[in-house]
Structure 1
Amino acid sequence: MKFNSVALTLATAGSLVAAQHHQHRHHHKRTVDTQVVSVNGESTVIKYELNGKEVTADFVCAQVKEGKLKYADGQPAVDACQSSVTPSSSSTQAAAAAPTQAPAEFVETSSAPATPTSSSASSSSASSTASSSSASSTAKGLNVDFPDGEIDCDQFPSDYGPIALDYLGLGGWSGIQYVSVADKVVSHISTAVKGDGCTSGSMCSYACPPGYQKSQWPSTQGSTGQSVGGLECRSGKLYLTNSALSKKLCIEGVGGVHVQNNIGSEIAVCRTDYPGTESETIPLALGNNDLQPLTCPNGETYFKWQGKVTSAQYYVNPKGYSTKEGCNWGDGSKPIGNWAPINLGVGENNGKWLSIFQNSPTTTEKLDFNIKIKGDNLGGSCKYENGKFYSESGSNDSGCTVQVKSGDATYVFY
């Protein structure tokens, strides 16, 4: 993956110096805590500091507009006030946390309130041993190769790792797409609704247990940026679509990321079915005092959207909702499902990157508990507390991101 960088300097009574800071942009929403711009059609990631403190895009934009800051002589013409990310599909898949080829960003402002003292750490990062046993206990056949072209399409392949999601009414599948292919791209996609089945001509996606993710998606993707994923149903039989990656249906991520529930009630954490329908249907039920792995895809080997590294997005529902309720497409009458208040972004690309961010622009609803990221060696801090996002440089209403420099990291709900 090619990385571009531009070091920009803005001038005022004090200098505003830019330092390289990579962040991942998925294909639909802005990355949290960022403002994105294009530099000569190339992708660049920038971090600005004023008098040794980080500043946000809003701060830069306002100060430049008011004439209080300007780019120093000889600097590239990058306008912080005209940034955007053009949506490429009708999906709700949002920005995640790993760095990749991406436009410039600005991070938190020194003019924001100072970061409050973090609440005391509850426990050290979870061990991989505990998370692995938790993950494997909910599935069978994780290490068994899938018998390509032998299983009927109406038989959900639970003997080969996937977890059946019967509550969706799709025969256990996490999503089904009926596709038409023309000129080597998917020209039309119809998404199955409750009661539909995996039939010939469809792509049938599936959920894997905690710590694992699906391995199958075709190289042929949507002509307008939509993603397609799962097994292919052809002539009544199920076929692998990505055997070069794995002949096993569920594969592990890079590991080292966990989620812990300390709030006293069940929490439904739901990953988007990506590549695929991009609905938040992949469930993780987190009981009180429960600790589970949160799958972090390998940026080098996992799905790439138009050549760009992607990462996993998780929706965090308010406390007390089951995965049956929360890991489903909602109608907006409750702050659950795709209307859940908070997203987590988890990705790996030259290091692991973890985010907590508001589910914007879908909702401004606040979560009824707090989230912090703890780790052995984090490049900064990130937490969501009482409806605000905090990092070492201040607070905001949109989100925060940290790099895991080494060791494990845990999202703690408290």
Structure 2
Amino acid sequence: MKYAIVFTILTAGLSLAQPHRHAHRHAHVDKRSPTADVVNVPGPTVVVFELNGKTISESDVQQGLKNGTLKWAGDGAFSVAPSSTVASSTSAPSPIISSAKPTSTSIYVAPTSSTSVAASTSAAASSVAPSSANAAPSAASYSGSSLPDANNVEADFPDGELDCSTFPSDHGAVSVEWMGLGGWTGIQQPGSSGDGGFDDIMTVTSQTCSNGNCCTEGSFCSYACPAGYQKSQWPTKQGATGQSVGGIQCVNGKLRLTNPSLSKKLCMTGTEKVSVQIVNKMSQNAAVCRTDYPGTEGETVPLDAQPGTTSNLTCPDGAHYYNWKGAPTSAQYYVNPKGVSVKDACQWGTAARPWGNFAPLNLGVGYSAGSAWLSIFQNAPTTDAKLDFSIEIVGNHGGYENLSGRCKYENGQYCSGEHYESCSKTTGCTISVSSGSATFIFSS
């Protein structure tokens, strides 16, 4: 006999007694126990997640728990039948974080040397069984590049002219249809706003959209940009307790820029001081997914590195991009096993497959203090799965002269040193480059 379990998910901060009938929709990740309605049924265990009376997917639950917009209802712990597995949400690691250890996972501070550094995390390790990196992509995977071309990426956005139901694919944004949000990578709805910032921030799920229209009045709607570009829009006012908020906003039924002083375009390039690329020398694609930050912080911004191609990789300039409480931020990319489509890879996954937030490996990329800092590191503690191909950072003309050192992942190890003599299965590596180019070489 097994159990059908319904996990009721409350929006974060909801008072159980609700004496004033004011439901708060956001707080820090405050996991509370789900209330479980247990019914004896034959057959396999079924896990259902419910939000405000509507069923939502496990991936939406994981995203909400990670970014703090959801919490478990109840008193803190939950149990499931032995045959059922529910993966606990973990924060993605950042290769370099400030000594203040903020809760944000994308804070970037340049290291004082180019020696190898261990990947850090703001979350406690989750107990997750190792996954094989050889799992095959789903039958629904796209063949070839599944990303639409960007249109008019260099044109100014028609601020206040497009209806909120219109995704701005003709104005530089790349539609991410598999998220089920009308092309948006993530949508946030602040419940309140004060001098200290937004509070009660709810993450919109595909199941809660009305007739497919997800970017509704007051929402901040985030989007992907083509390779070599990054989102330029986020409001000056951010979360009251450190939550990040990103995207353009639906105001009076029209899409409005939220950061026009930075750019009147939806997408912008990173630093011009250093050029960063990915070269895929394999016979299969490699899905590389950037964290949507500022925003929901899901790994939903896709780059589809096709076989035999070179792709630009955006390197944010810390002095001219999003700052979290005054600290510059870098970009974090999740690298998935070869052959997995961006549709499967660039969204929240499960421990059953090393995709999405369970991808084996991360790249850290950012420009600060006169140099670009590039890292390769394990996606710990989320997974100890190993990537099934090699990655090496090379400099101008395939050499190393303009790099501060060497950094490579191969056969499950992260190696540095002049002859790659210093290797570790757990500790990543970082190099810096002040000019010229740096390339991540993907090879079998």
Q: TM-score of the superposition, structure 2-length normalised?
A: 0.65
Q: State the one-letter code of the partner of 1:358.
A: Q
Q: Distance in 2 between matches of 1:311 and 1:138?
A: 25
2:174 match: 163
Contact 1:153 1:237 in 2 (8 A): yes
Q: What secondary structure does 2:434 align onto?
A: strand
Contact 2:114 2:432 in 1 (8 A): no
Residues 37-89 of structure 1: per-residue CA shift (max 9 Å, x gap): 95xxxxxxxxxxxxxxxxxxxxxxxxxxxxxxxxxxxxxxxxxxxxxx64525
Contact 2:92 2:382 in 1 (8 A): no
Are 1:339 and 2:363 an aligned pair?
no
Q: State the one-letter code of the partner of 2:283.
A: G
Correspondence for 1:379 among 401, 404, 408:
404
Residues 221-254 of structure 1: per-residue CA shift (max 9 Å, x gap): 1122111000011121111100000111111112
Residues 254-276 of structure 1: per-residue CA shift (max 9 Å, x gap): 25000011121111000111111
Q: What secondary structure does 2:170 align onto?
A: helix
Correspondence for 1:182 among 193, 196, 213:
193
Are 1:199 and 2:216 an aligned pair?
yes
1:363 match: 383
Q: Distance in 2 between matches of 1:410 and 1:323?
A: 21
Q: What secondary structure does 2:238 align onto?
A: coil
Are 1:408 and 2:444 an aligned pair?
no
Correspondence for 1:270 among 274, 289, 294:
289
Q: CA deviation at 1:95?
A: 5.9
* Cα 1:408/1:108, change in 2 over 3 Å: closer
Q: Distance in 2 between matches of 1:30 and 1:285?
A: 22
Q: CA deviation at 1:180?
A: 2.4
2:162 match: 151
Residues 83-139 of structure 1: per-residue CA shift (max 9 Å, x gap): xx64525xxx3565x617xxx899559xxxxxxxxxxxxxxxxxxxxxxxx9x9921
Contact 1:373 1:382 in 2 (8 A): yes
Are 1:225 and 2:237 an aligned pair?
no
* Cα 1:211/1:189, change in 2 over 3 Å: same
1:45 match: none
* Cα 1:87/1:95, change in 2 over 3 Å: closer
* Cα 1:355/1:205, change in 2 over 3 Å: same
**Runs of 4+ displaced beyond 4 Å:** 28-31, 104-109
Q: Distance in 2 between matches of 1:171 and 1:296?
A: 27
Identity of aligned residues (%): 51
Contact 2:217 2:250 in 1 (8 A): yes
Q: State the one-letter code of the partner of 1:412.
A: I
How do residues 5-404 of structure 1 correspond to structure 2 at under 5 angstroms?
A: 32=95, 86-88=101-103, 93-94=105-106, 99=110, 107-108=115-116, 138-184=149-195, 185-195=197-207, 196=209, 197-255=214-272, 256-349=275-368, 350-376=370-396, 377-392=402-417, 394-396=422-424, 397-404=426-433
Q: What secondary structure does 1:300 align onto?
A: helix
Q: State the one-letter code of the partner of 2:162.
A: I
Moved more, 194-203 or 304-313: 194-203
Q: Distance in 2 between matches of 1:171 and 1:192?
A: 12
Contact 2:334 2:362 in 1 (8 A): yes
Contact 1:354 1:401 in 2 (8 A): yes
Q: CA deviation at 1:312?
A: 0.6
Residues 325-366 of structure 1: per-residue CA shift (max 9 Å, x gap): 000111221100000000000100121110001111111111
Q: Distance in 2 between matches of 1:183 and 1:295?
A: 33
1:126 match: none
Contact 2:106 2:330 in 1 (8 A): no
Q: Distance in 2 between matches of 1:212 and 1:106?
A: 26
2:130 match: none
Q: What secondary structure does 1:378 align onto?
A: coil
Q: Distance in 2 between matches of 1:182 and 1:281?
A: 26
Moved more, 206-215 or 387-396: 387-396
Contact 2:376 2:407 in 1 (8 A): yes
Q: What secondary structure does 1:142 align onto?
A: coil
Residues 13-48 of structure 1: per-residue CA shift (max 9 Å, x gap): xxxxxxxxxxxxxxx77654x7x895xxxxxxxxxx
Q: CA deviation at 1:398?
A: 2.1
2:12 match: none
Residues 132-186 of structure 1: per-residue CA shift (max 9 Å, x gap): xx9x992111122112111111100111100111111101111101112332301
* Cα 1:95/1:300, change in 2 over 3 Å: closer
Instruction: Could you tell me which runs of 5 or more consecutive residues in structure 1 were left unpaired when the two chains were aligned.
Output: 1-27, 39-84, 110-133
* Cα 1:107/1:410, change in 2 over 3 Å: closer
Q: Distance in 2 between matches of 1:407 and 1:105?
A: 19
Instruction: Could you tell me which runs of 5 or more consecutive residues in structure 2 were left unpaired when the two chains were aligned.
Output: 1-90, 118-144, 397-401
Contact 2:116 2:427 in 1 (8 A): no
* Cα 1:375/1:137, change in 2 over 3 Å: farther
Contact 1:30 1:95 in 2 (8 A): no
* Cα 1:30/1:160, change in 2 over 3 Å: closer
- Cα RMSD over matched residues? 2.4
Q: Distance in 1 between matches of 2:93 and 2:355?
A: 21
Count of residues in correspondence between the two structures? 307
* Cα 1:230/1:218, change in 2 over 3 Å: same
Q: TM-score of the superposition, structure 1-length normalised?
A: 0.70
